[in-house]
């Protein structure tokens, strides 16, 4: 008890002795702050949805173009994204409803050119059934719908929706595609990355880059996934960790406890093995993905001149990635290689070693 009083006294003296502000600030009503919290949540939901829809639309043609680059990462895609208010945290649900997201699972994006788009499904349609499965009004409704769609035999699904006062059925045949997701993340800076199953683009990058620049970035990240770079890095990390573990064991036999420090350090070193080569290959294959999707190549290298302005240090030096100067030249040369193949009606397949 004496210790508590002593600490309380010390804290009081500390606050008395510390400097404070000198202006008189108007008192803010708590209800006004709560109102502004609500408005900011609405802005976040709307803007995040806008950028997610934009990413879905940009990614789709590249996933179609990448279908045959990796037999292990092939799947089917309908071209739908859905949402409902109940999946949000409680304090966000009223904001979601004000953004016209209903408690019933609803379609919030139909990717242009996708099977769902061609079938006639529309943003705002409320999802009632997929084949014979009724979609419940619940926070897990999206997971249920995704599971049923993924299990649709031969990729054919009958999707029943409510549009205005009508109940409509749409038979939709999914298209063959590279089986990768696309996610706009709130966290992260001006960057993008792949995790083996998804292309993740932070909100900051979506706001920073225009569509043409994003297309080059997206093709690069898809290339990381379809070329198996993420799995290769994980294997390299395991190998490095095994070597590190030998060091931990040796130190332990001498009476020193390392707490697995060598294992962790060597795993990190292993994960970075051939990092620059993986990046070069993703740049190279990414250009082929752009070409296979019918997008122009000549302006693609300019992305790296743009990034050089953000990080001038990277023009001539980089540890885990090639320099921006090297990446510009690589994309430029790859464009020449691809155009020569097109002129000779040769298949647009990246050259192997």
What CATH number does residue 87 fall under?
A: 2.30.42.10
> Is residue 151 domain-shared with residue 277, that is, in the same domain?
no
Q: How far apart are CA 25 and CA 47, in angstroms?
A: 32
Q: In what order do the strands lie in the sheet with 198-202?
A: 181-185, 198-202, 193-194
Residue 94 lies in a domain: yes
3-class secondary-structure state, position 26:
coil
Answer whether residue 314 is part of any domain. yes
What residues have CB less than 8 Å from 15, skipping those under 6 apart?
Answer: none
**Structure tokens that stand for 100 in this block:** 């016209």
C-alpha count within 13 angstroms, C-beta hemisphere, residue 277: 8
Tokens linked to 340: 């020569």
Residues in the chain: 353
Q: Flag the least confident range among 69-73, 177-181, 215-219, 297-301.
A: 69-73
The residue among 178, 199, 221 that closes a domain is: 178
Q: Alpha-carbon distance 234 to 268, whole Å?
A: 10
- CB neighbour burial string for 230-263, b if at least 16 within 10 angstroms, e if fewer: bebbeebbeebbeebbeebeeeeeeeeebeeebb
223 shares a domain with 130: no
pLDDT at 257 over 90: no
Q: Are 237 and 229 in contact (CB under 8 A)?
A: no
Q: Are residues 41 and 174 in the same domain?
A: yes
Residue 192 domain flag: no
Residues 144 and 75 in one domain: yes
Q: Which of 132, 155, 178 is the last residue of a domain?
A: 178
Residues 77 and 129 in one domain: yes
Q: Please check whether residues 213 and 174 belong to one and the same domain.
A: no
Same domain membership, residue 216 and residue 159: no
pLDDT at 266 over 80: no
Share above pLDDT 70 across residues of the chain, in percent, rounded to a whole number: 94
Q: Are residues 267 and 314 in the same domain?
A: yes
What is the total count of domains within the chain?
Answer: 2
Is 304 or 260 the better-scoring residue by pLDDT?
304
Alpha-carbon radius of gyration of the chain: 26
Residue 224 lies in a domain: yes
Q: How confident is the model at residue 7 (pLDDT cuts 50, 70, 90)?
A: low
Examine the pLDDT at 192 and tell me if it is beyond 80: yes
Distance CA 147, CA 57 (A): 22
Q: Give the span between the Cα atoms of 351 and 337, in whole angstroms.
A: 10
- Write down the H helix ranges in 254-310: 261-271, 275-292, 302-310
58 and 129 co-located in one domain:
yes
In a domain, 4, yes or no: no
Of 131, 156, 178, the residue that ends a domain is 178
pLDDT at 10: 62
**174 and 60 housed in the same domain:** yes
The number of angstroms, rounded, from the C-alpha of 266 to the middle of its chain's C-alpha atoms is: 28
With respect to residue 245, please indicate whether it lies within any of the assigned structural domains. yes
Residue range of the domain that includes 115: 37-178
For residues 109 and 120, give the distance between their C-alpha atoms in angstroms, rounded to a whole number.
Answer: 12
CA neighbor of 150 nearest in space, from 64, 83, 81, 76: 76
Question: Is 258 found in the same domain as 158?
Answer: no
Query: What residues pair up with 75 in beta bridges, in sequence order?
Result: 177
If you search the block for the tokens 């788009």, which residue do you land on?
117
The answer to whether residues 158 and 225 belong to one domain is: no
252: in domain: yes
């Amino acid at each position: 008890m004496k210790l508590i009083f002593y600490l309380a006294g010390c804290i009081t003296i500390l606050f008395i002795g510390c400097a404070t502000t000198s202006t008189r600030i108007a008192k803010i009503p708590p209800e006004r702050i709560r109102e502004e919290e609500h408005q900011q949540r609405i802005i976040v939901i709307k803007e995040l949805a806008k950028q997610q829809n934009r990413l879905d639309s940009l990614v789709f043609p590249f996933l179609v173009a990448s279908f045959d680059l990796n037999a292990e990462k092939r799947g089917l895609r309908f071209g739908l994204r859905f949402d409902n208010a109940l999946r949000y945290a409680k304090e966000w649900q009223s904001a979601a409803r004000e953004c016209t997201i209903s408690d019933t699972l609803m379609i919030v994006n139909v990717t242009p050119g996708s099977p769902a788009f061609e079938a006639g499904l529309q943003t705002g349609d409320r999802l009632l059934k997929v084949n014979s499965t009724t979609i419940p009004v619940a926070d897990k409704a999206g997971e249920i719908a995704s599971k049923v769609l993924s299990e649709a035999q031969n990729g054919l699904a009958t999707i029943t929706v409510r549009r205005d006062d009508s109940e409509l059925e749409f038979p939709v045949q999914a298209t063959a595609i590279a089986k990768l997701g696309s996610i706009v993340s709130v966290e992260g800076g001006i960057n993008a990355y792949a995790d083996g199953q998804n292309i993740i683009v932070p909100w900051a990058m979506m706001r920073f880059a225009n569509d043409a620049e994003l297309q080059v970035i997206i093709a690069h990240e898809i290339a990381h996934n379809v070329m198996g770079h993420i799995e290769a890095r994980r294997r390299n990390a395991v190998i490095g960790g095994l070597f590190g573990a030998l060091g931990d064991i040796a130190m332990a036999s001498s009476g020193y406890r390392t707490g697995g420090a060598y294992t962790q350090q060597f795993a990190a070193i292993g994960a970075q093995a051939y990092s620059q080569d993986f990046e070069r290959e993703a740049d190279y294959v990414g250009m082929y993905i752009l070409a296979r999707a019918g997008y122009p190549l000549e302006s693609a290298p300019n992305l790296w001149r743009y990034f050089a302005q953000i990080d001038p240090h990277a023009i001539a030096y980089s540890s885990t990635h090639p320099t921006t100067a090297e990446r510009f030249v690589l994309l430029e040369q790859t464009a020449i290689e691809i155009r020569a193949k097109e002129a000779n009606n040769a298949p647009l397949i990246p050259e192997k070693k």
